[in-house]
Amino acid sequence: MRSSSYLLQTLGLLLLCCTVAANKEPLENAKYKDPKEPLGVRIKNLMSHMTLEEKIGQMVQLERANATTEVMKKYLIGSVFSGGGSVPTPYASPEAWVNMVNEIQKKALSTRLGIPIIYGIDAVHGHNTVYNATIFPHNIGLGVTRDPGLVKRIGEATALEVRATGIQYVFAPCIAVCRDPRWGRCYESYSEDHKIVQQMTEIIPGLQGDLPFGQKGVPFVAGKTKVAACAKHFVGDGGTLRGMNANNTVINTNGLLGIHMPAYYDAVKKGVATVMVSYSSINGLKMHANKKLITGFLKNKLKFRGIVISDYLGVDQINTPLGANYSHSVYAAITAGLDMFMDSSNLTKLIDELTSLVKRKLIPMSRIDDAVKRILRVKFTMGLFENPIADHSLANQLGSKEHRELAREAVRKSLVLLKNGENADKPLLPLPKKANKILVAGTHADNLGYQCGGWTITWQGLSGNNLTIGTHLSSIHSNESSSYSTLGFL
């Protein structure tokens, strides 16, 4: 009797352990650790070592404040990010950022498989969360420069500044085609004209590096001075009803494919590593639950092979109110083709739901494997396994003179003069060299924070002159070579 109950126990144990990795090869010299092995071999080998828990952990991106040692190790988290305005300390130096990111990275590296995290941040007009970073004009300004080469150089500069802080991933560019200026996030769009938005996807090879000759459409990041980019927000974010943010884009197939989709062709062709899903809906269906467009179009038709990431709590918004019927939301998002959840608030709920959906076979293991393969592909491709820890060697790139000069060039090229005076015979500009008074008007006139707009230090930007450095109004005042003697304020 004893031996049969032992058999039953063993069987039970085996069943319980059905999520244990199949590969029994010793980890010390596992193939995935060898950079000389081809990408496909490394991915396959690592996945053969992974348990369900380790796979699901890779699919979660947490806010830095939640990335405690306990959580990182217990849930085997694959990615961490800085939410809008989330900084190690106010005025943190690039060195302090590097140390913070490395601290979290070391937690990930100390887990069984030692899979490095990828750390993301909204660097949407320069490395805008970071004190003393170069702030470039917003996309709406860059669009009017009609200069894709300039935008590519801005991508290169931004990548260096982001790497200066130890970060490897940016949630940019926004390739929305803003069709209604009432949309509050219109400034994040290069243009209402999809052709201009398409040209400006040149920022992607700027951020990530140029795809090697002959390669097309594979996620690519050229090493330690480049960052993974993110085309967002897939798709139709700039086409919502009356410009209402994250609302419904009512459109037929021709409109969708002709206006909002074209820039995704360019982004994928140029090797964009990730795509972020939009909070908005298409014809009443939340994009986070849209299988036809995420899997059917982006993954199958455009052959996108990188990571599809949610927007923050985007999955919680599939059902209303926020967080309702969460099990269904997780199911719908994964079934639609989502690979990574940006979600800090409901970590244990998310992991429990996802695990349970897989164990109940409502989500096939093949879907989880597709997601994990994409995440690992990006991590291996960008050299994260070889270079997970950042050093301080790029610190002087943050806010460098060269980058500030590039920003000035962009500002000059983005200025738009709609009308110069009453008529061409009586132009108002240039202003006369000698004038007694000049009126500088408006709440933004003496406010660098306001002038920099949203996504500057914090999510919605800031007021005042304390946290941004730049050409201050007083410098016009004090400019000895100008003859303006009085400045008026409103």
Nearer residue to ligand NAG within complex by CB, 72 or 276: 72
Nearer residue to ligand NAG within complex by CB, 302 or 467: 467
Q: Is position 244 an interface residue for ligand NAG (rule: CB under 6 A)?
A: yes
Q: Is position 470 an interface residue for ligand NAG (rule: CB under 6 A)?
A: no
Q: Under rule CB under 6 A, how many of the chain's residues touch ligand NAG?
A: 31
User: Binding pattern to ligand NAG, positions 44-83, x when CB under 6 A?
Assistant: ---------------------xx-----------------
The total of other beta-carbon atoms located within 10 Å of residue 179's CB is 21
Q: How far is the CB of 268 from ligand NAG (least distance, A)?
A: 26
Residues from 131 through 150 that contact ligand NAG (CB under 6 A): 132
Q: Which listed residue (144, 447, 482, 484) binds ligand NAG by CB under 6 A? A: 482
Q: How far is the CB of 99 from ligand NAG (least distance, A)?
A: 16
Closest residue to ligand NAG, Cβ-based?
A: 323
Piece in contact with ligand NAG (CB under 6 A), picked from 18-26, 228-236, 292-300, 469-477: 469-477
Q: Which listed residue (189, 199, 278, 281) binds ligand NAG by CB under 6 A? A: 281
Q: How far is the CB of 259 from ligand NAG (least distance, A)?
A: 19
**For the chain, first and last CA: distance in Å?**
93
The total of other beta-carbon atoms located within 10 Å of residue 296's CB is 13
Nearer residue to ligand NAG within complex by CB, 89 or 471: 471
Angle at 370 between CA 369 and CA 371, to 5 degrees: 90
User: Binding pattern to ligand NAG, positions 166-205, x when CB under 6 A?
Assistant: ----------------------------------------
Nearer residue to ligand NAG within complex by CB, 266 or 353: 353
| Paired tokens of 19 | 């999520």
The total of other beta-carbon atoms located within 10 Å of residue 480's CB is 5
User: Binding pattern to ligand NAG, positions 328-357, x when CB under 6 A?
Assistant: x---------------xxxx-x--------
Q: How far is the CB of 217 from ligand NAG (least distance, A)?
A: 31
User: Binding pattern to ligand NAG, positions 293-332, x when CB under 6 A?
Assistant: --------------------x--x-----xx-xx-x----
Piece in contact with ligand NAG (CB under 6 A), picked from 23-31, 240-248, 356-364, 376-384: 240-248
Whose tokens are 């913070």? That residue is: 100
Q: How far is the CB of 76 from ligand NAG (least distance, A)?
A: 16
Piece in contact with ligand NAG (CB under 6 A), picked from 1-9, 153-161, 244-252, 256-264: 244-252
Q: Which residues pair with 230 in a beta bridge?
A: 274
Nearer residue to ligand NAG within complex by CB, 48 or 132: 132
Whether 204 contacts 197, CB under 8 Å = no
Whether 103 contacts 97, CB under 8 Å = no
Nearer residue to ligand NAG within complex by CB, 169 or 326: 326
3-state DSSP of the chain: CHHHHHHHHHHHHHHHHHHCCCCCCCCCCCHHHCCCCCHHHHHHHHHHHCCHHHHHHHCEEEEHHHCCHHHHHHHCCCEEEECCCCCCCCCCCHHHHHHHHHHHHHHHHCCCCCCCCEEEECCCCCCCCCCCCCCCCCHHHHHHHCCHHHHHHHHHHHHHHHHHCCCCEECCCECCECCCCCCCCHHHCCECCHHHHHHHCCHHHHHHCCCCCCCCCCCCCCCCCCCECEEEEECCHHHCHHHCCCCEECCCHHHHHHHHCHHHHHHHHCCCCEEEECCCEECCEEHHHCHHHHHHHHHHHCCCCCEEECCCCCCCCCCCCCCCCHHHHHHHHHHHCCCEEECCCCHHHHHHHHHHHHHCCCCCHHHHHHHHHHHHHHHHHCCCCCCCCCCCCCHHHCCCHHHHHHHHHHHHHHCCCCCCCCCCCCCCCCCCCCCCEEEECCCCCCCHHHHHCCCECECCCCCCCCCCCCCCHHHHHCCCCCCCCEEEEC
Amino acid at 219: P
Q: Is position 86 an interface residue for ligand NAG (rule: CB under 6 A)?
A: no
Give just the sign of the alpha carbon dihedral 22, 28, 33, 34. negative
Q: Which listed residue (45, 111, 247, 458) binds ligand NAG by CB under 6 A? A: 247
Nearer residue to ligand NAG within complex by CB, 67 or 124: 67
Q: How far is the CB of 298 from ligand NAG (least distance, A)?
A: 20
Q: How far is the CB of 163 from ligand NAG (least distance, A)?
A: 14
Residues from 380 through 439 that contact ligand NAG (CB under 6 A): 396, 398-400
Q: How far is the CB of 274 from ligand NAG (least distance, A)?
A: 22
Q: Site residues (CB under 6 A) for ligand NAG?
A: 65-66, 132, 244, 247-248, 281, 313, 316, 322-323, 325-326, 328, 344-347, 349, 396, 398-400, 464, 466, 471, 475-476, 479, 481-482
